[in-house]
Structures are given as structure tokens and as C-alpha cells.
Structure 1
Amino acid sequence: MSTLFTPLKLGSLTIPNRIGMSALTRNRSSANVPNEIMRQYYAQRAAGGPGLIVSEGTLITQQGSEWFNAPGIWNQAQVEGWKRITDVVHSNGSKIYCQIAHLGRCTHPDAPEQIAAGVPVYAPSAIAARGGKFRYIPGSPGYVTPTELPDPTIIIAQFKQAAVNAKEAGFDGIELHGAGGYMVHQFLDSSSNKRTDKWGGSVENRTRFALEVLKALIEVFGPDVGLKIHPPAGQNDVGMPLQETIDTFGYLCREVNKLGIAYVALLRYREAADAEIDGKKRGTPHDVIETYSPFLPDTNIFVNGGVEPAEAEELVRAGKASGVFFGVPWISNPDLGKRIRAGKALINPIDSKTFYNPGVDLSLGYTDYKAAEY
């Protein structure tokens, strides 16, 4: 694994190895404020040898998230909670980016956070996503028809303020969540974006929102900005025919390459994560590395999605990726980076019942996985 453990220049930083921890929703915050159990969780993983940690998806504004107890970054209490986390990550020898997100139509008007926000469920267009369940709301309702966002620049400003707050909280950089069928992805996808103004229609118009958000983030963090995208889609009822997908994300990547950001994380197609709607899979399977790397000749590419350690080494050695993000393996292997370097077997069984918030004891399946002896 010698290539994985070489340094990498990433924006203004140099990270010691090419192993990243990707964003993992875990639902342990106190309502929307990062807390002590989260600090312990990130401390354990920062000590486990990652070159870079990306925080769980962090909301830029109060809204009815499909994830209960997901943290935010829109108020001072959240900034202070994240500051305790970034401090311990740094003291344990790692760097951390904040992944920021707006969920768009994947929210619900009856959710407590949405009610408290006092605004409608906004999306690029008034088109409901099929599927989805809000299991913490009585009756487990699905998605609703959202209100078309009247002025996208309002949300762009919220993304920028989130970056300002993340910088105050001590994050080393920011990652824009452009995947998952959430707001940025909804603007990119022609099935969820039917606007007739400058924010919809053509490839140039549908990519405008993502590019304008990135430019706003660069104003705050300079080159220390990442972008996560998932062209094969499928989640939360997004997905386009193959050629339209390549045209859209190819153009996006080409324009992103001009911006000089730290990296683009390409999430690979995963059949298990692809939604089934009307009896068929919603996504568009294709090889994201081969398809989009030609559009990103000057930008670090990180690969994410079901990558095994040996494959990660080969991807970096062959020059197909600058680095690899592991996700789920970090849950049961808090020392994943050290395990890979030492050639130790990974702990693979993960209790799916505790992947998200299990209830009273937040430590279950969260901070109770043990590091190996070295």
C-alpha cells in the first residue's frame, strides 16, 4: 500500500496520505447542534490515520430534514459545537472539511425543524420526488410537492454564510454536497429541474447553480473547496438518460476544473443504493472515473463508493485517482487508515440497527467499535 501513503497537495494543505473518510450521516447531534458524543466519534477516527476527514452532511439552514438529529452550521451554538470537534481532530493529527448541504425537496412541512424554520419546502421546480419516508413523523409520510424556489441566489447566500461559519468553527475546508438527489443535484438533473429561467433548461443553465455556489465558497475558503457528485444518481428520484448525464456532468466538471478547487469526489454507481421506482432501478450505471476524469485534468479526483483497500492502492498507483474516500468501513474500523497501512484485517460486520441514531444510548454502533493493537 505504498502509494496510498504518500503525501498529497490538496488546496493550500498537504495531507500525509491518500485515504479519506467520506461524509456519513449518523444522526447523533442534539437536535441540530453537534455534541460531546460526536466529538468522541471524530476524535477516534482522526486518530485512526486518515489523510482527510469530511464531516457528515451538515445543513446550511433549518429545515425538515429526512434525517432526524442531523447537525447544522447556521447558528452560533452549532459553530461552537463544531469548534470542539475540529479542535480534537487537529490535536489527533488530521484535517477536516465540512460537507454542507441543502436538501431541497427531500424535506417535509410537518417536520419540527421545517415548522420552526417557517418557510416552505423549496426546490428548483414544483415536482415531488417519488419514494422516501419520514419515519420520525407520525404516519411515516413520503415526499411532498415542493414550492418552486423563487430566487436561487437566496440559497447561494446561505451556502456562503455556512462556509463563513465553518471557517469560524475551525474547518480546514468545505465540501459541497452535489449528490444524493439534494438541492444542488436537483438543479443539475432535468427530471427535477423544469425551470424556464436562467437556472434551468440547457446544460449551461442547469449547472449554473452548482457553479455559483462553488464560486461563493471559494470567496471564503480559497482553493480549500471540494465537490462531491454522483452522476449515476438514482437516489431520491433523480437520474437522466446516459448521454444527457454525460453532457451535464461533463460540462460541470470542465467548468469546475477552471476554478482551481482542491478536489472533486466521484461517487460510483452502487446498485444497492439505487432506488427502485415503478419496478425498475432509477439510476444510470456508468464508469465515472473513465467518463469524467478527462474533464478534470488539473483537479484532484477522489473516488468514493465501495472501494476496497487493494483497489484503492491500484487506482492511485495507476494515476486514475489522487485519493480514495472510504465511507462505511470507517464505522466499524475507527482506525481504518492504520489498519490498511499495517495490513490488518478490517472489522466488517456493522450493526445496521445502529447505523443511524438508535435511541437512548448514542454510543451504540458509534463510539463502541475498538481500534486494533499496534
Structure 2
Amino acid sequence: MSLFTSFELGSTTVSNRIGMSALTRNRSTATVPNAIMLEYYLQRANGGAGLIVTEGTLITRQGTEWPQAPGIWNEEQIAGWKKITDAVHEAGSKMYCQLWHLGRVSHPDAPEQKAAGVPVYAPSAISARGGKFRFLEGHPGYVTPTELPDPAVIIAQFKQAAINAKEAGFDGVELHGANGYLVAQFLDSTCNQRTDQWGGSPENRARFALESLKVLIEVFGRDVSIKINPAGGYNDMGMPLQETIDTFGYLLREVDKMGLSYVTLVRHSDALDPEYEGKKRATPHDVVATFAPILANTPVFVNCGVTPEEAETLVSSNTAAGVFFGFNWATHPDVANRIKAGKPLDNVPNIPHLYGAEGVDPALGYTDYKAFA
């Protein structure tokens, strides 16, 4: 099977084309990676993942949404991640850290946000619709953010996070440019209405992503990637189709000159497309067919709803260099091993405990899924 051939990924080699995509699981101890997270990632390394991308990892206290999401801004967090990367490497897998800033979909009353002592920042003072912060009293929704005075400040935080990730033993970093978080907010004209060099034209709206990638490359060289979902409506995102093609087309033409290890293209998912005022938010189109041809010099990984059979076709046809599975890795510690052995992905998801809960055994719905015998 083409899925089980090795692949040169930046400066390293992965054993197969089956990656584990970033999956928020909300199990850290006050933003510090812990022993049960080590068990979780090690299970999946032993389960055959060629490349593991961490859950979204916060680059700074400013920009939190999940109360137990991990960070990578201090020494304690670096030490926690180092134990995990060491174990994953010992098991034969490679590991990237997904660098994450939430921008406008944070809340000013979140504990870490309050500790940061700064407002909720975004490209423009435009609130996302929806949201529900279940860990805050009254379950409030999104608020109107403060326009970020100088985006270079956050870009510098991305660079420091990459320095920390290198110290923690990661093989590379993935810039989270999807799902309506800060990088995606700069790209999208519905929430970026700046009139300076960071807004307006596709070139200006892509500047934040490109400048962030440049500083990551200063730290990791070729071992840098970006994840985007041009057809996604999550967190109140989405532009008209031609504007979407123009914006992401420009971004990827520039990205293709940068020598990244890969770009993840997230396909449209109707199930993940929110509805506002009776209308779906996203801009559905064939993301892979539209954007993969632009990346002539950069490996493409495909994500979202890929079946094992489709994954084999994508790789064997050279449409993609590899595939990221997401939810299947949450519910199966051994996705790659099952695919190789022809076993079904049939574990029953424990939805109530997918993201954990205060006072509940964190293993539930996390490390208690069974590998096939």
C-alpha cells in the first residue's frame, strides 16, 4: 500500500503517510502537559502514526478558549512536552507542535486571559457570532474584541513559541491557520477590515500568515507547515467564492516559494459548517482540486472525512503526499495499525467525555479506547 511507504518530510523521514491531525482534548494540568497526555500520545505512536501533530498549543496566555488546553510559553510546559516528544520518538513516530492563537474567539473572563492582563485581540473589532464558554458562569458567547494595535507583537510570540518547541524536542511546527482562529481571521475579509498594511487586499490580509511563517522558518528551517481550511465556516468564517480563491490562491503561491515541509488542506464538511440566521456560513468548494495544483513544490496533506480507501487513492495517485485522520485517532489508538491489518475503525465514540470534565476521570473517552487484539 502506498500509505505505508516512507516519506521525506522536511529534514526528517516519516515511516508512513498516515498522520494524526491536531485534536483539542482539554486534558492538561493548568496548561502544562501531564502524564495522561503522555500516555495518550504514546498510545497513538505505538498505533502506527507516522506523524503526530499536537492538539492546538497556545503560544501565549492571551488567547485561551479551553480551560485545560496546553501551552508552550513557559519552562514547565516545555519540560512537560519534552517527556512526550521523547516517548513518541522512542516509539518510532515524529511529532510537530501546532502553534495556536485564538484571537477573537477568546473570552475576557477566561482565567488565563485575565492573568495575561491584556484584551481579547483580533484583526478588527468585529465579534464572531455564536460561541458558548461552558466553563464560565452563565455560559457567555463571543464578545467584541479589541483591534490588535501591532500584529508584529503576536508574530514575535509565534517565534518564541517555535524556539520553545525546539527546546521541547519537536521535529517541527504547524501554524494553525484554520477554523477561524487568529491567522484565519487575518485572511478573512468578513472579520479583517483593517485599512493598514495588514488588511484590505488579499496580499495584505495574507501578510500576517506569511510573516508568521517566516519567523518560524528562522527557528525550524524546512520543518514548518501550515494548516488551512478555505471552505470552512467554523467560528463565523467564510468569504464569497471568488474572494476565497483569490485570497488563498495568493497565500499558497507565496507559501510554495518558502520550502515548507507540507501544507494541510482541510476539505469542506457540511457537519462542521455552522448556521447563522438560517444560513450556512461556509463557502463549499473542492479545496483539494482548487488549491493543490498551486503547490507545485510543497507536499500536500489532505484532512477531513478521509476514509482509508480514499487515503490510499489520494497517495497512490500522487494527489497528496499524505493524509491526516482526525476524529478516528481520538477514538482509536491504533488507526494506522488497523488500516494496515485491514481491521475496521469501529470503536464507539464516548462523546460526553470527548473533552473531559472537571471532577471526572480524565482517562474516560481519552486513553481507554481499545486497540484491536
TM-score above 0.5: yes
SS at match of 2:235: helix
- Alignment RMSD, CA only? 0.8
The correspondence of residues 315-326 of structure 1 with structure 2, limited to 5 A, is: 315-326=314-325
Distance, in Å, in 2 between the alignment partners of 1:345 and 1:203 is: 43
- Match of 1:293, SS state, is helix
Contact 1:64 1:110 in 2 (8 A): no
Q: What's the offset of the Cα at 1:105?
A: 0.3
| Structure-2 separation of matches of 1:16 and 1:95 | 9
1:370 counterpart residue number: 370
Task: Judge conservation of contact 2:333–2:371 (CA < 8 Å) in 1.
Answer: yes
Residue 291 of structure 2 corresponds to 292
Q: Contact 1:64 / 1:111 at 8 angstroms: preserved in 2?
A: no
- Could you tell me how far apart the structure 2 residues matched to 1:315 and 1:365 are? 30
Given the alignment of the two structures, is residue 54 of structure 1 paired with residue 82 of structure 2, yes or no? no
Equivalent residue pairs, number:
372
- Look up the match of 2:361: 361
SS in 2 for 1:53: strand
CA contact (8 A) 1:29 1:38 kept: yes
How many percent of aligned residue pairs carry the same amino acid?
A: 67
Are 2:178 and 1:179 equivalent residues in the alignment? yes
Report the AA paired with residue 83 of structure 1.
K
Instruction: Provide the C-alpha distance between the structure 2 equivalents of 1:14 and 1:48, rounded to a whole number of angstroms.
Output: 18
Aligned residue number for residue 141 of structure 1: 140
Q: Distance in 2 between matches of 1:187 and 1:288?
A: 19
Distance in structure 1 (CA, Å) of the matches to 2:368 and 2:140:
33
Name the structure 2 match of 1:105. Answer: 104
Q: Distance in 1 between matches of 2:109 and 2:103?
A: 15
TM-score by length of 2: 0.99
Gaps of 5+ in 2: none
Q: Which moved more, 1:247-256 or 1:357-366?
A: 357-366
Following superposition, the deviation at residue 347 of structure 1 comes to 2.2
In 2: Cα distance, 1:186 partner to 1:286 partner? 19
* AA at the equivalent of 1:229: I
Is 1:231–1:249's contact at 8 Å kept on the other side of the alignment?
yes
The letter of the residue matching 2:229 is: H
Query: What is the TM-score of this pair, normalised by structure 1?
Result: 0.98
Q: Deviations over 1:193-239 (max 9, x none)?
A: 00000000001000000000000000000000110000012011110
Distance, in Å, in 2 between the alignment partners of 1:331 and 1:142 is: 26
- Structure 1 contact 46–94 (Cα < 8 Å) conserved: yes
CA distance in 1, matches of 2:90, 2:196: 48
Q: Does residue 205 of the first structure (1) align with residue 207 of the second (2)? A: no
Aligned CA distance change for structure 1 residues 255 and 135 (closer, same or farther; 3 Å)? same
Q: SS of the residue aligned with 2:180? A: coil
**What is the identity, as a one-letter code, of the residue corresponding to 2:337?**
K
Instruction: Find the counterpart in structure 2 of residue 195 from structure 1.
Output: 194
* CA shift digits 1:165-209 (9 cap, x unpaired): 000000000000000100000000000100000000001000000
How far is the alpha carbon of 1:63 from its aligned partner? 2.9
Letter in 2 for 1:366: Y
Q: Secondary structure at the match of 1:216?
A: helix
For residue 64 of structure 1, report the CA deviation from its aligned partner. 5.3
